[in-house]
A = this chain, B = another copy of it.
């Protein structure tokens, strides 16, 4: 391995994702923040890899219709654990 990843890196990835989603729809932080009912500062922090609440992240993902995909990803992970031990 050696390719271990830090929490900070994941936060930056998440920030990049949120920014890409927003850019893709060509809306400003200002506008999106208003739509989500959060401050522009909070949104900027999320996009810049600061440490927001899970709620803030999920609000953004919900707006861009990414909640279902994420939920599927998570549930698959959970299911693979609760299964009778993948015998092979």
Chain A residues at the B interface, C-beta cutoff of 8 Å: 3-7, 9-11, 13-14, 16-17, 20-21, 23-24, 51-55, 57-59, 62, 66-71, 73-75, 77-78, 81-82
In the complex, are the beta carbons of B71 and A13 less than 8 A apart?
yes
Chain B positions within 8 Å of A21 at CB level: 81
Give the residues in chain B near A3, CB-CB below 8 Å: 68
Interface centre among A9, A62, A74 (most CB of B within 10 A): A74
Bound-state Cα–Cα, A58 to B59, Å: 18
Residue in B17, B53, B74 whose beta carbon sits within 8 Å of that of A10 in the complex: B74
Q: Determine the chain B residues whose CB is within 8 A of the CB of A23 once the complex forms.
A: 81
Q: Are B7 and A75 in contact (CB under 8 A)?
A: no
